């Protein structure tokens, strides 16, 4: 009876850890695109861009900055998402992929 209880606890632990890992991956890979009338926005992990064609503005935001520009002040847009291209996994596979990206 005691062995069955230990096996049950191990299986329960593995199931819980798998569920937590899946939730983390969903959070990291969450990407939002919204087209609401005159406003188009993209956001991924608190980094994004908002284009408002009615007010003729472009807003860039990330974890540290938030800046809005009028169309008149923009000649060219070059923008890099701060967390784009990162691989979120676990264990050795994550380390290998992050090393390959760097």
Which structure tokens are listed for 17? 């850890």
Do residues 45 and 28 make contact, with C-beta atoms less than 8 angstroms apart?
A: yes
Which structure tokens are listed for 32? 């939002």
- pLDDT confidence of 10, banded at 50, 70, 90? confident
Q: Would you say residue 102 has pLDDT above 60?
A: no
Which structure tokens are listed for 90? 């676990």
Closest CA to 85 of 67, 71, 100: 100
Q: Which residues are paired to 35 by β-bridges?
A: 40
Q: Which residues are paired to 74 by β-bridges?
A: none
Residue 28: partners with Cβ closer than 8 Å, 6 or more residues away: 45, 88
List pLDDT tens digits, range 56-77. 888 888 878 888 888 887 777 6
List pLDDT tens digits, range 14-52. 777 776 665 555 555 566 677 778 888 888 777 888 888
pTM assigned to the model: 0.46
């Amino acid at each position: 009876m005691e062995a069955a209880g230990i096996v049950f606890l191990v299986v329960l632990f593995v199931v819980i850890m798998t569920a937590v890992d899946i939730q983390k991956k969903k959070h990291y890979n969450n990407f939002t695109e919204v087209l609401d009338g005159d406003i188009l926005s993209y956001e991924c992990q608190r980094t994004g861009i908002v284009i408002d064609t009615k007010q003729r503005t472009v807003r860039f935001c990330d974890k540290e900055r938030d800046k809005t520009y009028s169309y008149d002040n923009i000649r060219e847009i070059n923008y890099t998402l701060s967390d784009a291209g990162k691989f979120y996994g676990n264990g050795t596979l994550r380390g290998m992929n992050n090393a390959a990206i760097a």
